[in-house]
Amino acid sequence: MLEANGYAVIRLREKTAPDSPDNLVAAVAEANDAVLVTSDGDFKSIAARTGIGQRRYRRLSLIRFEQCRESQMARRLESALSLIEHEWKVGSGARDRRMFVVIKTESIRTHR
């Protein structure tokens, strides 16, 4: 869906070992100025523990699916795309550019 809308997509499973630690995944995404798209709930604890708002991962942008079936993810992402693009533009004006979006079956939430 993202590629069809003109976005470059890097699939982590094609670039790293399948069991790479979440901290490595987050660091690689941040270093490449990439938006990390995940359904891994562990990234919520990383953000709470070491990420969003603290020194580590200050520039990590994240789109996380929560309580959303895999079969619904592309449709939900497509329906959220204009909001995500807006949040990216808002974040681009900040010194520490980042975006944090949570997509659920019935809701979409952003954190600034």
pLDDT single digits (tens) 58-96: 778 889 999 999 999 999 999 999 999 999 888 877 776
pLDDT of residue 79: 94
In which element (H, E) is residue 89 found? helix 70-92
Question: Domain spans of the chain?
Answer: 3-111
| Mean pLDDT computed over every residue of the chain | 83
Gap between the Cα atoms of 26 and 63, Å rounded:
12
CB 98 within 8 A of CB 59: yes
pLDDT, position 51: 47
User: Which pLDDT band, with edges at 50, 70 and 90, does 104 fall under?
Assistant: very high
User: Model-level pTM?
Assistant: 0.82
